A and B are shown apart, each in its own frame.
Chain A
Amino acid sequence: MKYTEIMVRYGELSTKGKNRKDFIGKLAGNVTKVLRDFPQIEIHPRHDRLHIVLNGASFNEIDQKLKKVFGIQTYSPTIKVEKTLQAIEETSLALMKETFKKGMTFKVNTKRSDHHFTYDTNELNSLVGDYLFENMSDLKVEMKHPDLVLRIEVRQDAIYISNQLLHGAGGMPVGTGGRAVMMLSGGIDSPVASYLALKRGVDIEMVHFFSPPYTTEKALNKAKELTGILANYAGRINFIAVPFAEIQETIKEKVPEGYLMTVQRRFMLRLADEIRNKRNELAIFNGESVGQVASQTLESMMAINDVTTTPVVRPVATMDKTEIIRLAEEIGTFDLSIKPFEDCCTIFAPPRPKTKPKVDKAREYEARLDVAGLIERALAGIKVTAIYPNDKFLADKAEEDAALL
């Protein structure tokens, strides 16, 4: 079926009041970003809906991208026809023939904003219904919960027909929730937390700690590639790589083993907060999940969180590991997350970290270090990379291999 436009319905708008305009503007911008590969399309944001005029672009290709845009509740591929009964009938029949499967029920639902059109809504409902019955067997009408709703909208310029209601990603348009940094490791949890942050409209930048030569370039590239997957939901995400080896070496040298992990985490949080501050952002997100590992007990969180008053949001804090994994699989980060490259969280992990570290002890051991100097040098070494949907960073030579094989 050659669809001519997509009608997009917004989510969660009723509560937005005066911010509605901002919401729609952001959504239109995000849709424009993810559909930048389709120069022929036109995007028209209106107060109740957003219209994407396809101008010949493939609905199926656009569908793949559109279903990852947060802030869309539902959408329908639609066909625009001239304002004659014959055009309505023929297009309706073609649509139904393509989507109807034996045993389904349907109804016709007409809306009319052009009140001068020859037929009113009831007339159109029954005319089109009769026409479909004449031309298709097995049709069954059901008013309350039909499987298919054939929607006919009579507007001033033309008539719009659709019969599919597709579910969007829901959530809020990315950017409407402000900007924040996300502490991205490379594991399973932080990509899921990133996804959830984006879903609430928060525009995130990834902060990733790396420690060459203790960690390999592969680990860094893995985190970047994960960001590429998440960029499908945001259009683009900045990746901020923070060198962490000097800090880890210094801590290892000067802090008792039981507090290695706590002090390392305090430094990470400090660095994330400094970056947030410099980049005018409002919060820190991370992938901590209560009770998962020693650094994620409430006592640990208390001792680590001591270094900042910035809100630290933990989207997966109360999720079970199995729930997190299910979501990771759904968003496509799982297979990459489980690739076993050393990351900076594991290289200086003490064999017996304190699960109940004390805040004052952590402060006391830290006092032996040149905290300001270490932070300053790490910040001087950060590198920011803009990452776009599905950017690849791990040596993926599949195409080269395919040419050889």
Chain B
Amino acid sequence: MIYFDNSATTKIDPAVLATYNQVAQNIWGNPSSLHKMGDRAFQLLESSRKQIANLLGTKQDEIFFTSGGTESNNTAIKGTAIQKREFGKHIITSSVEHASVANAFNALENLGYRVTRLPVDKEGRVNVNDLRNALDTDTTLVSIMGVNNEIGTIQPIEEISDLLTNYPTIQFHVDNVQALGKNIWPRVFTPRVDLSSLSAHKFHAPRGIGILYKKEGKMLSPLHDGGGQEKGLRSGTENLPAIAAMAKAVRLLLTDEAEKANREAAIKREIVAYLQDKPGIKIFSPVSTGFTPHILCFALEGIRGETLVHTLEEHDIYTSTTSACASTKTDEASTLVSMHVADQIAMSAIRLSFDETNTLAEADEFITVFDQIYRHFAKINHLGENN
């Protein structure tokens, strides 16, 4: 079995699961309870928060626990829009965001907010000049992802940060769900970033738990009202076993981070070396410092991505069309469409996404299997005959 769909979700690490189990069984008090058991749970909650803060380079008070990337994104975006509505109702994002960002903006647009969606270039990257031109005195929020989930483009967060330094009242949110542990953190999490989202199941921790980073002093309206947990920003009894497991997973993830990222890069490099120059194959995630090492998106002209995914599945190889979240819908990949890739080709795209447990041997096996598939389809589609 080869699992190349790690951007959709990763396999939970047994050591992380062990932490989950131990906490669920032994430290099950409610962190808000006054008695000893509550106290114990509260202490572990704060130890987890502290560990994550130290590893991410933030203050402990800046880490908030949510149910995952979607909630973190929604809280950051809607929370800002509502909090700052008296100061302006113009909000900016890119045209290649994850659905949880894109649809949050759609929802706000329906409520009367003015939304600017920045275009992207041929590599799926936002242009800072476009952002500069879009800013006005009504702008309260800019939300740009750190790493694109469909093709792996690293967005120019550093340049955007430089630009936004002159606009201190605009809250800058970066969806970093795809960006942690890939040895690029300082590029996508600058000191100017006010809000950032992470999701635990993308790094071998349980699903249903995530992080919202909120810089000290920044204000957000909470989306959940309730018992006032997480300093009122996210009410609801804390999911302590998952939080502790996530804290452990962050530590494991960031241990030997560079080496792990290099391993993923080597796999990507090997597969790209095979794919490039093949007639009918179009690579959207080149080997480049502008792209994350763990995502490789390409299309085989004339074959729907879905078909390719299922064909690979027959060989026990698991991949996805460009985004698992969008794959059940009939419309094409949104990032590729925003890049003005022809519909025919966009519909043919598939995404391979690696993690540090994947090996070069798996890359070789993938190439062997894919080569058979490619030859078969190339024959049917007369690929290469016109060249």
Q: Which residues of A contact B (CB under 8 A)?
A: 218, 395, 397-398, 401-402, 404-405
Cα distance, A401 to B244, chains bound together (Å): 9
Q: What are 22 of the A-B contact pairs (CB < 8 Å)? A: A218-B39, A395-B36, A395-B39, A397-B40, A397-B43, A397-B44, A397-B47, A401-B43, A401-B44, A401-B47, A401-B48, A402-B47, A404-B19, A404-B22, A404-B44, A404-B248, A405-B19, A405-B51, A405-B244, A405-B247, A405-B248, A405-B251
Choose among B19, B43, B51, B248 the residue that contacts A395 (Cβ–Cβ < 8 A). B43
Contact with A along B195-209 (1 / 0, CB 8 A): 000000000000000
Q: Which residue of A lies closest to B247 (CB)?
A: A405
Distance of B51 from chain A, by nearest CB (Å) = 5
Given contacts A401-B43, A404-B244, 16 further A-B contacts (CB under 8 A): A218-B39, A395-B39, A395-B43, A397-B44, A401-B44, A401-B47, A402-B47, A404-B19, A404-B22, A404-B23, A404-B44, A404-B248, A405-B48, A405-B51, A405-B247, A405-B248
CB-CB contacts below 8 Å: B232-272 with A: 244, 247-248, 251
Distance of B36 from chain A, by nearest CB (Å) = 7
Contact residues in A for B248 (Cβ distance below 8 Å): 404-405
Contact residues in A for B247 (Cβ distance below 8 Å): 405
Cα distance, A106 to B44, chains bound together (Å): 53
Q: Which residue of B lies closest to A398 (CB)?
A: B47
Cα distance, A218 to B42, chains bound together (Å): 14
Contact residues in B for A405 (Cβ distance below 8 Å): 19, 47-48, 51, 244, 247-248, 251
Distance of A272 from chain B, by nearest CB (Å) = 30
List the 7 closest A-B pairs by CB distance, nearest first: A401-B47, A405-B247, A405-B248, A405-B51, A404-B19, A397-B43, A401-B44
Cα distance, A370 to B35, chains bound together (Å): 35
Cα distance, A218 to B35, chains bound together (Å): 10
Distance of A347 from chain B, by nearest CB (Å) = 16
Cα distance, A405 to B49, chains bound together (Å): 11
Q: Which residues of B contact A (CB under 8 A)?
A: 19, 22-23, 36, 39-40, 43-44, 47-48, 51, 244, 247-248, 251
Max chain B C-beta neighbours (<10 A), residue from A218, A398, A404: A404
| Interface contact B47-A395, CB-CB below 8 Å | no
Contact residues in B for A402 (Cβ distance below 8 Å): 47
Contact residues in B for A398 (Cβ distance below 8 Å): 47
Q: Which residue of A lies closest to B23 (CB)?
A: A404
Contact residues in A for B22 (Cβ distance below 8 Å): 404
Cα distance, A404 to B245, chains bound together (Å): 8
Distance of B78 from chain A, by nearest CB (Å) = 31
Distance of B248 from chain A, by nearest CB (Å) = 5
Contact residues in B for A404 (Cβ distance below 8 Å): 19, 22-23, 44, 244, 248
* Interchain Cβ contacts within 8 Å, total number: 29
Q: A401-B47, A404-B244, A405-B244 are in contact. Are A395 and B40 (CB under 8 A)?
A: yes
Cα distance, A402 to B244, chains bound together (Å): 10
Max chain A C-beta neighbours (<10 A), residue from B40, B43, B48, B251: B43
Cα distance, A405 to B248, chains bound together (Å): 4
Contact residues in A for B51 (Cβ distance below 8 Å): 405
Contact residues in B for A397 (Cβ distance below 8 Å): 40, 43-44, 47
Distance of A339 from chain B, by nearest CB (Å) = 12
Main secondary structure of the interface of B (DSSP, over half): helix
Distance of B264 from chain A, by nearest CB (Å) = 25
Contact residues in A for B19 (Cβ distance below 8 Å): 404-405
Contact residues in B for A218 (Cβ distance below 8 Å): 39
Distance of A270 from chain B, by nearest CB (Å) = 33
Cα distance, A60 to B47, chains bound together (Å): 30
Contact residues in A for B47 (Cβ distance below 8 Å): 397-398, 401-402, 405
Contact residues in A for B39 (Cβ distance below 8 Å): 218, 395
Distance of B44 from chain A, by nearest CB (Å) = 6
Cα distance, A398 to B50, chains bound together (Å): 11
Q: Which residue of A lies closest to B36 (CB)?
A: A395
Cα distance, A218 to B247, chains bound together (Å): 27
Distance of B35 from chain A, by nearest CB (Å) = 10
Distance of B206 from chain A, by nearest CB (Å) = 14
Q: Which residue of B lies closest to A216 (CB)?
A: B34
Cα distance, A405 to B36, chains bound together (Å): 21
Cα distance, A401 to B22, chains bound together (Å): 11
Contact residues in A for B251 (Cβ distance below 8 Å): 405
Cα distance, A397 to B29, chains bound together (Å): 15
Cα distance, A95 to B40, chains bound together (Å): 50
Distance of B19 from chain A, by nearest CB (Å) = 5
Cα distance, A282 to B222, chains bound together (Å): 59
Distance of B205 from chain A, by nearest CB (Å) = 12
Cα distance, A395 to B22, chains bound together (Å): 19
Q: Which residue of B lies closest to A402 (CB)?
A: B47
Distance of A13 from chain B, by nearest CB (Å) = 47
Contact residues in A for B48 (Cβ distance below 8 Å): 401, 405
Contact residues in A for B36 (Cβ distance below 8 Å): 395
Cα distance, A405 to B244, chains bound together (Å): 6
Cα distance, A401 to B40, chains bound together (Å): 10
Max chain A C-beta neighbours (<10 A), residue from B47, B48, B247, B248: B47
Max chain B C-beta neighbours (<10 A), residue from A395, A398, A404, A405: A405
Contact residues in A for B23 (Cβ distance below 8 Å): 404
Cα distance, A136 to B95, chains bound together (Å): 65
Cα distance, A173 to B360, chains bound together (Å): 68
Cα distance, A405 to B22, chains bound together (Å): 11
Contact residues in A for B40 (Cβ distance below 8 Å): 395, 397
Cα distance, A395 to B251, chains bound together (Å): 24
Cα distance, A397 to B46, chains bound together (Å): 11
Distance of A405 from chain B, by nearest CB (Å) = 5
Q: Which residue of B lies closest to A404 (CB)?
A: B19
Distance of B120 from chain A, by nearest CB (Å) = 39
Cα distance, A370 to B334, chains bound together (Å): 84
Distance of A392 from chain B, by nearest CB (Å) = 13
Distance of A396 from chain B, by nearest CB (Å) = 8
Distance of B109 from chain A, by nearest CB (Å) = 41
Cα distance, A395 to B40, chains bound together (Å): 8
Contact residues in B for A401 (Cβ distance below 8 Å): 43-44, 47-48
Q: Which residue of A lies closest to B246 (CB)?
A: A405
Distance of B374 from chain A, by nearest CB (Å) = 45
Q: Which residue of A lies closest to B44 (CB)?
A: A401
Cα distance, A397 to B44, chains bound together (Å): 8
Cα distance, A364 to B36, chains bound together (Å): 43
Cα distance, A181 to B248, chains bound together (Å): 47
Contact residues in A for B43 (Cβ distance below 8 Å): 395, 397, 401
Distance of A166 from chain B, by nearest CB (Å) = 32
Distance of A161 from chain B, by nearest CB (Å) = 42
Cα distance, A402 to B23, chains bound together (Å): 13
Distance of B269 from chain A, by nearest CB (Å) = 34
Cα distance, A404 to B24, chains bound together (Å): 12
Distance of A365 from chain B, by nearest CB (Å) = 34
Distance of A388 from chain B, by nearest CB (Å) = 23
Distance of A218 from chain B, by nearest CB (Å) = 8
Q: Which residue of A lies closest to B51 (CB)?
A: A405
Contact residues in A for B44 (Cβ distance below 8 Å): 397, 401, 404
